[in-house]
Chain A
Amino acid sequence: MRINPDKCVACGNCTYVCPMEAIYIDPVIKRATIKRDECVECYACYNGLSQEHLNPTMVRTVRKIFALAKVRFDPEPDVCPTGAFEPDELTWPRVVRRAFSDPRVPHESTGVEGRGTEEVKTNDVSGRVKVGEVGFTIEFGRPGVGARFHEIQEMCWALAEAGVSFEKKNPITSLMSDVATGTLRADILNEKVMSAIVEIKVTVDRTEEIIRLVWAVEKRLGTVIALGVGTRCDENGEDKVVAPILESLGYKLERAKTNIGLGRVKRPLDKPAAKETVNA
């Protein structure tokens, strides 16, 4: 992303909306400027700000007059008055920043938007996590901190050394040069992204071991981690196995994503609704 200095009027609205705080007003050129290495190409500025396309000279003149007359105008804070943002033509490896940061761009490896993962959201169809198994989503960088791939690689190395296998349909796995060791492509290691999710699956009895491993590695990283733990419920819709383990490790379980089991592999829209319990 770039800001056209001929259009920018240095209103400063964009400096607040950048999730990575990568935009500042350059005091020398008096224009909003992007710190290129901190920008994750999430397009929040370009997609999220409304645009007015006003004449920049006219806006600068009006602002000067208002300042001289000591008139305060309280404009809308989510607007770029001149439409000054211009997307760059992204090339490798910088293009991976956008793939992991702009939620509207589907990942090529999975075809899924956002961070490119389905996790237990489609478990009723995919059967990804079975009874007796636990699916981990280890998310790096969110909220609002960002992560570099060398940090993610450090976790992947530790997980691979512990003998866990990485989810095949996951964008991070697709960027590994050696899945057995959890090594990522060397040319992306310093790229920064809004967030990325490593997905693994283990048997229930390894739940505590994996969490303790994550605790050990995260201390060495300069980013935040959001840990998600998914499991298949029993025939009564209960989880009496994984939740107690998590609570014994000190977690207070407040929020969850619950798949209610209505997914089907395929059913025409016009077929009459089934009456039986759907996820039996």
Chain B
Amino acid sequence: MTNTLHRFGDADSFRDDYVIFAIASKGANDGDSLPKLRRFLQIAAEYHPVNLGDARHGGALRPSKEMNPMAHWNRDNKPDFQAVIDGLDTPTTCAAVFDNKVAAEDFVKRIREEDLGMSINISTSIDGADQCCHHAGIPRHSVGYSLGFEGATEKLPSSQVMMLSTMCGHGMVSHSLAKKMVDWVKEGRRTPEEAVCYMARFCSCGVFNPARAARVLKMAVNQESANAK
């Protein structure tokens, strides 16, 4: 599951994108991992994440199986971190997403002190992760580099759409939905903050970064305005 590794963008575009996740190794330390993973989520919630999730149930914004039709006029777009913590019922990958370096660094330092025994990974720019480790006084153990996308890249959409859709590494946020949201924000049919909620609900493990997505959408609008002048 390289669901956080291959995000489209250069290192600078990850300045507000820090995904930190805890995972147990199957057969080695997953037996008693549930309370530790829940503790990971509880601590993360203290550091003001922009998303929180587990790989079985999803993130802090979830679709509803019984939606009230009135939601078309007053949709609840508030992330529910407590529901993520309470809903964790099986050992799986748990993730917290932060939109700033300070929160990420402080969280990593705290997680080191807690010593949960789970494998902890930071997915962001190489420098960003390095600085988190430095702040916590930990040398990196292993590193997995993303070499980006190759092969039939002519089948891939524009860079703005890619920046949005690859934030769900499992591919649940379709290129078409991302493009539609870019268009809707440009047309003024939705605000960037509303548009990112639609995409975030499709991410099935909670690693979608709504803050970075809103920035990408605003960038698209600004670019459109600049082109029109």
Q: Does B201 contact A (CB under 8 A)?
A: yes
Contact with A along B57-69 (1 / 0, CB 8 A): 0000001111111
State the total of A-B contacts with C-beta under 8 angstroms. 361
Contact with B along A38-49 (1 / 0, CB 8 A): 000010100111
Q: Does A92 contact B (CB under 8 A)?
A: no
Contact with B along A214-235 (1 / 0, CB 8 A): 1100110111111111111101
**Residue pair B174, A144 in contact (C-beta under 8 Å):** yes
Given A51-B66, A255-B146, A269-B32, check contact A19 B172 (CB 8 Å).
yes
Interface-facing stretch out of A105-113, A175-183, A184-192:
A105-113
A141 CA to B150 CA, complexed, in Å: 10
Q: Which of A50, A77, A224, A262 is close to B65, meaning CB atoms less than 8 Å apart?
A: A50
**Residue pair B172, A48 in contact (C-beta under 8 Å):** yes
Q: Which of B56, B147, B162, B172 is close to A229, meaning CB atoms less than 8 Å apart?
A: B147
Q: Does A91 contact B (CB under 8 A)?
A: no
The residue of chain A having its C-beta at the shortest distance from the C-beta of B13 within the complex is A254
Q: Which of B63, B173, B176 is close to A50, meaning CB atoms less than 8 Å apart?
A: B63
Interface-facing stretch out of B42-50, B79-87, B108-116, B214-222:
B108-116
The residue of chain A having its C-beta at the shortest distance from the C-beta of B56 within the complex is A104
Interface-facing stretch out of A1-9, A29-37, A159-167, A270-278:
A270-278
**Residue pair A260, B138 in contact (C-beta under 8 Å):** yes
**Residue pair A255, B126 in contact (C-beta under 8 Å):** yes
**Residue pair B115, A262 in contact (C-beta under 8 Å):** yes
Q: Does A56 contact B (CB under 8 A)?
A: no
Number of interface residues of A (CB under 8 A): 104
Q: Which of A113, A239, A255, A279 is close to B138, meaning CB atoms less than 8 Å apart?
A: A279
State the main secondary structure of chain A at its contact with B.
loop
CB distance from A83 to the nearest CB of B (A): 8
Of A19, A215, A224, chain B has the most CB atoms within 10 Å of the CB of A19
CB distance from A110 to the nearest CB of B (A): 7
Q: Does B4 contact A (CB under 8 A)?
A: yes
Q: Does A28 contact B (CB under 8 A)?
A: no
- Which chain B positions have C-beta within 8 A of A278? 112, 115, 138
Which residues of A (195-253) have their CB < 8 Å from a CB of B?
A: 195, 197, 214-215, 218-219, 221-233, 235-239, 242-243, 246, 251-253
Q: Does B229 contact A (CB under 8 A)?
A: no
A34 CA to B48 CA, complexed, in Å: 41
Which residues of B (1-51) have their CB < 8 Å from a CB of A?
A: 1-11, 14, 21, 23-26, 28-29, 31-32, 35-36, 39
CB distance from A44 to the nearest CB of B (A): 5
Contact with B along A112-146 (1 / 0, CB 8 A): 11111111111111100100000101010111110
Q: Which of B1, B10, B64, B133 is close to A258, meaning CB atoms less than 8 Å apart?
A: B133
Pairs of residues from A and B, 9 with the lowest C-beta to C-beta distance, nearest first: A237-B139, A114-B1, A261-B141, A263-B119, A264-B117, A273-B115, A122-B25, A230-B144, A237-B140
Knowing that A246-B147, A257-B143, A278-B112 are A-B contacts, what are 12 other residue pairs whose CB atoms are under 8 Å apart, sorted by A's residue number?
A48-B172, A76-B72, A103-B1, A123-B119, A214-B150, A225-B149, A254-B11, A254-B14, A255-B14, A259-B142, A261-B141, A262-B111
What are 9 residue pairs bridging A and B, where the CB atoms are less than 8 Å apart in the complex?
A: A120-B144, A121-B21, A137-B144, A226-B5, A228-B144, A237-B139, A246-B147, A262-B117, A266-B117
Interface positions of B (Cβ within 8 A of A)? 1-11, 14, 21, 23-26, 28-29, 31-32, 35-36, 39, 55-56, 63-69, 71-72, 75, 92-93, 108, 111-126, 129-130, 132-133, 136-153, 155-157, 162, 165-166, 169-177, 180, 184, 189, 198, 201-202, 204-205
